[in-house]
Amino acid sequence: MNPYAGGTERELAAAVAAWSERLGPRIAAAEEAGKLPRELFWELADLGVLGMTVPERDGGLGASTVAFALVLEELAAAWASLAVGVSVNSGIVAGSLVRFGTLDQRARWLPRLIDGSGLGAFGLTEPTSGSDAASLRGTARRDGDGWVLDGNKLFVTNARYAPLLLALLRVSSSGGPRGAEPPARHAGITAFIVPLDVAGVTIGKPERKLGLLASDTSAVTLDGVHVGADALLGEVGKGFSIAMAGLDAGRIGIAAQAIGVARSALALASAYAKERRQFGRPIADFQMVSFSIARRRTETDAARLLALRAAWLRDVGRPFTREASMAKLYASEAAQRATHAAIQVFGGYGYMREYSVERAARDARATTIYEGTSEIQRLVIARSLFAA
Amino acid sequence: MALERKDADASTTVSVVTVGPARSRDALRQALAMGCDDASLVLAEEPLSDLAVARALAKVALETKPDLVLCGKQASDDDQGFVGPALAEVLGWPHVSMLTRLVPAEGGVELWREVEGGHEVWKASFPVLGTAHKSEKEPRYPSLPGIMKAKKKEIPERPVGSLGADLGGPRLEIVALETPPARGGGKILKDGDMKAVAEQLATLLRDEAKVL
């Protein structure tokens, strides 16, 4: 029970939880193979998850951010590799199109993010720009009515499955008048909708990661890619704020994912602690074990309240940047502690692949890094607290 | 099973109805979320006899005139399996139990039921009643859009007394409930060699268990 979620939102999450229960047997094989089975996308489309954040006028469900956070938690509790793909597709990519896309762009692209034919991708990071996103080097230059795009986007989630890449590239200007203020570091950064089936696009080899093994993470290289004028999302030079707005919402999704992973690891640890006997009694009888789980479970519940507060603020149209960062920071760090504790409860068995607590720990690890490291979240929070 | 028919032929209307307390709405809402067209509740806060439930449902069936009525094969609490066949009897309709599959047929429907080692296929003209065993397919999940749509649908409700059905008649009364007697421990024969043990076993099976 929590104060931010209504009955309908909980029902939507419960429906996804019921669906997720049957994922079990498919997970190990897909993690081993390093890819998500495509039929899962169809199932998620049928279930209505992929379009849940898209308004009804654009063919979606128009569900709240709170509902989406609860759904991502359920997906992540079952399978984090799947949850992160959905989070990027339906959160940051679909969300940016809904908010900044023209009628034509929404009509052309949103159905493809909803219908299960693929999962959308977001390209901000480059080899030399991670946390310092404003220093990105990818470029876009005008070519007649359209654009020519060049750049190397790294660590792109869903690249292999994506019909489109939402790419942040810099449009170089001819420079301001003499004596004008130097341009802002993010000047010229512009968002483009790049179809991934056009000439000049190369998808790199899938990255070999610590966790989230079934989630695709690859580089996308744009080499003289010609796109039409309709590839421009929003206005020239507004890309950085589009990206930051997308990440604000995305961070709620990452928090939800961390919460789901932590929750399932702790549930496994609790069940094991009741069953496993040492020194003549279930190890749950030892306070060293039960208190460890109690502490991490408390943190996980607190993280959920933070995440839902941020989601609720977004739903009611109030600023939520700081709260989203707080939720992402706290949930992702709490997930490290929770999954660590879960493995500790399992002892040697926790280190083995047969038990999915080791997967939880590996999957949780990414959450303190992507969509802004913990350090960047502290920076965002501190700046908002100390802004003049 | 009903929704599979609707998948195959979009002109099919699937209506769900139940006789029960107000909390039965949740089950009806779930059915709507899975894709049923409409739902209605016959409100009975106090438990009714199975025959009274069948008579109440018969009134509803006579009003709505469905081609096919599907019931569950048995209640999950008392396992009586009574209401479906009783409803068919009250209506004077044919009935086939334990269905696993429905196939449209000329002038009616083929009703498949599981039997030892295979299927038995019946054919019936409409109207007909069947009780559903496990479908060949897993029940579908309510989709998120289904849940949202179901929220917007009204579930009309009327008290069971308003149907004009005879709610009297014989009732079953539970006289006693007993747990099965505790089983005695088994015997392990380990004295002597294999032959001696075999002899002891044969003696015990004949004299004590009396199965030889």
Domain A241-386 = CATH 1.25.40.10? no
Domain A122-237 = CATH 2.40.110.10? yes
Residue at B35 is within a domain: yes
What pLDDT is stored for residue B52 in this prediction? 92
Alpha carbons A171 and A9: distance in angstroms, whole number: 41
A48: left (phi over 0), alpha (psi -120 to 50) or beta: left
Q: Return the number of CB contacts < 8 Å for A and B.
A: 32
What pLDDT is stored for residue B22 in this prediction? 93
Residue at B89 is within a domain: yes
What pLDDT is stored for residue A176 in this prediction? 53
ipTM: 0.82
Residue at B179 is within a domain: no
What pLDDT is stored for residue B153 in this prediction? 92
Q: Does B143 touch chain A (CB under 8 A)?
A: yes
What pLDDT is stored for residue B46 in this prediction? 86
Alpha carbons A80 and A254: distance in angstroms, whole number: 10
Both tokens assigned to B117: 């080692």
What pLDDT is stored for residue A286 in this prediction? 98
Percentage of chain B modeled with pLDDT above 70: 100
Residues of chain A contacting B147 with CB distance shorter than 8 Å: 8, 11-12, 15
Alpha carbons B93 and B73: distance in angstroms, whole number: 17
- Among residues A43, A133, A64, A53, the alpha carbon closest in space to that of A93 is found at A53
What pLDDT is stored for residue B34 in this prediction? 92
What pLDDT is stored for residue A177 in this prediction? 59
Q: What is the domain range of residue B89? A: 2-163
What pLDDT is stored for residue A1 in this prediction? 56
Residue at B119 is within a domain: yes
Residues of chain B contacting A19 with CB distance shorter than 8 Å: 141
Contact A48 B144 (CB under 8 A): yes
What pLDDT is stored for residue A231 in this prediction? 97
**Torsions phi, psi for A119 (to 5 deg):** -125, 130
What is the number of alpha carbons within 13 Å of residue A219 lying toward its C-beta?
Answer: 13
- Among residues A100, A384, A367, A387, the alpha carbon closest in space to that of A250 is found at A367
Q: Does B181 touch chain A (CB under 8 A)?
A: no
Both tokens assigned to B164: 């004009």
Number of compact structural domains in chain B = 1
Return residues 17-36 of B near A (CB < 8 Å). Answer: 33
- In single-letter form, the type of residue at position A10 comes to R
The residue of A11, A20, A53, A90 whose CB has the most chain B CBs within 10 angstroms, and thus the best one to mutate to test that interface, is A11
Alpha carbons A152 and A132: distance in angstroms, whole number: 15
* CB burial readout A157-183, b (16+ within 10 A) else e: bbbbbbbbbbbbbbbeeeeeeeeeeee
B40: closest CA of chain A, how far (Å)? 21
Burial, A145: exposed, middle or buried (Cβ in 10 Å; 0-12, 13-18, 19+)?
exposed
Residue at B208 is within a domain: no
CB B160 within 8 A of CB B44: yes
Radius of gyration of chain B (CA): 24
**Torsions phi, psi for A311 (to 5 deg):** -65, -40
Q: Tens-digit pLDDT profile for chain A (388 aa)?
A: 578 888 889 999 999 999 999 898 899 999 999 999 999 999 999 999 999 999 999 999 999 999 999 999 999 999 999 999 999 999 999 999 999 999 999 999 999 999 999 999 999 999 999 999 999 999 999 999 999 999 999 999 999 999 999 999 999 875 555 666 777 888 999 999 999 999 999 999 999 999 999 999 999 999 999 999 999 999 999 999 999 999 999 999 999 999 999 999 999 999 999 999 999 999 999 999 999 999 999 999 999 999 999 999 999 999 999 999 999 999 999 999 999 999 999 999 999 998 889 999 999 999 999 999 999 999 999 999 998 6
For CA atoms A373, A378, A381, A382, the dihedral sign is: negative
| Residue among A8, A15, A63 whose CB faces B142 most closely | A15
Alpha carbons B23 and B29: distance in angstroms, whole number: 10
Residue identified by tokens 């968002």 is A191
Residue at B25 is within a domain: yes
Alpha carbons A303 and B76: distance in angstroms, whole number: 39
Write the CB contacts of B55 (distance below 8 Å, at least 6 apart in sequence): B90, B165, B166, B167
CB B96 within 8 A of CB B124: yes
Convert chain A into a string of H (helix), E (strand) and C (coil): CCCCCCHHHHHHHHHHHHHHHCCHHHHHHHHHHCCCCHHHHHHHHHHCCCCCCCCHHHCCCCCCHHHHHHHHHHHHHHCHHHHHHHHHHHHHHHHHHHHHCCHHHHHHHHHHHHCCCCCCEEECCECCECCCHHHCCCEEEEECCEEEEEEEEEEEECHHHCCEEEEEEEECCCCCCCCCCCCCCCCCEEEEEEECCCCCEEECCCCCCCCCCCCCEEEEEEEEEEECHHHEECCCCCHHHHHHHHHHHHHHHHHHHHHHHHHHHHHHHHHHHHHCEECCEEHHHCHHHHHHHHHHHHHHHHHHHHHHHHHHHHHCCCCCHHHHHHHHHHHHHHHHHHHHHHHHHHHHHHHCCCCCHHHHHHHHHHHHCCCCCHHHHHHHHHHHHHCC
Concerning whether A235 is annotated as a catalytic residue, the answer is no
Question: Whole-angstrom distance between the N-terminal and C-terminal Cα of chain A?
Answer: 38
Both tokens assigned to B67: 């081609």
Residue at B148 is within a domain: yes
Residue at B176 is within a domain: no
CATH number for region A7-119 = 1.10.540.10
- Among residues B21, B24, B26, B88, the alpha carbon closest in space to that of B57 is found at B88
Give the chain A residue whose CA is nearest to the CA of B140.
A19
pLDDT tier at B208, thresholds 50, 70, 90: confident
What pLDDT is stored for residue B156 in this prediction? 94
Contact A47 B144 (CB under 8 A): yes
CB A302 within 8 A of CB A338: no
For CA atoms B27, B30, B35, B41, the dihedral sign is: positive
Name the pairing type of β-strands A146-157 and B157-159: unpaired
Task: Write out pLDDT tens, residues B126-181.
Answer: 999 999 987 777 788 889 999 999 988 999 999 999 998 888 877 778 899 999 88
Domain regions of chain A by residue span: 7-119, 122-237, 241-386
Task: Write out pLDDT tens, residues B81-119.
Answer: 889 999 999 999 999 999 998 998 888 899 999 888 888
Task: Write out pLDDT tens, residues B10-65.
Answer: 899 999 999 999 999 999 999 999 999 999 999 998 888 889 999 999 999 999 99
Residue identified by tokens 């068995």 is A349
**CATH number of the CATH domain containing B45:** 3.40.50.620
What pLDDT is stored for residue B209 in this prediction? 85
